[in-house]
Amino acid sequence: MNNVYIYQNKDWPKFSWNSEKLLPLLGRVRGLQGKIVGKMEALGFELKNEANFETLTLDVIKTTEIEGEILNTDQVRSSLAKRLGMVMPDMVYSEKDVDGVVDMMLDATQNFEKPLTFERLNDWHFSLFPSGRSGMHKIAVGKLRNDFTGPMQVVSGSTSKEIVHYEAPSATILEDELAKFLSWINNNSVALDPVLKAGIAHFWFITLHPYEDGNGRMARAITDMLLARADGIKQRYYSMSAQIRIERKDYYEILEQSQKGNLDITEWLEWFLNCLERGVESSYNTLEKVMYKHQFWTKHSSSIKNDRQKYLLNKLMDGFEGKLNTSKWAKMAKCSTDTALRDIQDLLKKEILEQEMGGGKNTSYKIKVT
């Protein structure tokens, strides 16, 4: 493996790539994007909003999971609903760190046409670290890293057997380097497909690693911003972060491989486009869930007036983990087990719920497929 980092090449950052190799793949991705956006834009206002909401929820949760952090799903949904002006019956309090990721992702996607500036990036960084700390460590928030404690390195292994996967450019050149990046990203005079631009921007920002922490999440927000530009709409109907989370091991491997050697980033862009293609394809699962939920309530809204039942049925359709039994119903709906049992029996009678295989003490229930 070449020990020269990509930014040490004399022509940095003049990236090159094999257009002949990438164009067929780019064409497929653009076709899929157009298909999914066209399908969703043909639907009603309410359905589009719901699909956008579900996709953004997934995006926020998965971009943090990539970094090993797990956000509370109910808090993410409540934070998003509050900021999008949506009314939800089960709103909960959301922590500042949850609100921060939501604010960053919404600014990136809802304001995709705005220029990306130092100030905007710093605002995102403040949003990600509202307490001024990353875990137990105090960090410089809203400021470029200073390297006072040593070079910025991506490492693995124990202290005595550390493996350095990557060392970022020196902090002394960061301001100039980031200025070049921002000038390029805001320059629309060069004919470059915005999806390809998203892939290059993601790689370039990660390679600079300009902040002490949060660089991965910010790179993915930049990616979402440029993908929104590519689609030309504020609504998000697919999640790149969700697919990267699935392919996290390959993601880190291709980044490390591409950050060493020459300025040809064909392999990175090929991986990026393939990952995006799979992400757009898998988004149909999310959209099918939205469609199913809409059809379900169109059919049953007149027969279900009980708010507890509405709340729990929505939970089931939103991807309830585990088995739903009487005790879980009572706990989630904040009611007695007798009340929970009456709720369930009523839905069984209406053939909206059905009993899962098994029974006895651990009887569980699911929505009946009709």
Q: What is the pLDDT of residue 164?
A: 87
**What is the band of 1 on the pLDDT scale with cuts at 50, 70, 90?**
very low
- Residue labelled with tokens 């990353």: 134
Summarised one tens digit per residue, pLDDT across range 54-70 is 999 999 999 999 999 99
Q: What is the pLDDT of residue 358?
A: 67
Q: What is the pTM of this model?
A: 0.83
Looking at 147-186, which runs of residues are DSSP E strands?
153-156, 163-167
20-24 average pLDDT score: 96
Angle between helices 45-65 and 73-84 (to 10 degrees): 140
245-256 average pLDDT score: 96
Which structural domains are found in the chain, ordered by start?
6-292 (1.10.3290.10), 305-367 (1.10.10.10)
User: Cα–Cα distance between 145 and 139 in angstroms, integer?
Assistant: 9
Distances (CA, A) of 243 to 81, 120, 182, 200, 283: 23, 26, 26, 18, 9
Q: For 315-342, give the DSSP string.
A: HHHTT--S-B-HHHHHHHHTS-HHHHHH
Distances (CA, A) of 249 to 13, 193, 204, 244: 26, 27, 19, 9
Query: Is it the case that residue 118 has pLDDT exceeding 70?
Result: yes
Q: What is the pLDDT of residue 43?
A: 79
103-108 average pLDDT score: 98
Summarised one tens digit per residue, pLDDT across range 177-233 is 999 999 999 998 778 999 999 999 999 999 999 999 999 999 999 999 999 999 999
Q: What is the pLDDT of residue 361?
A: 63
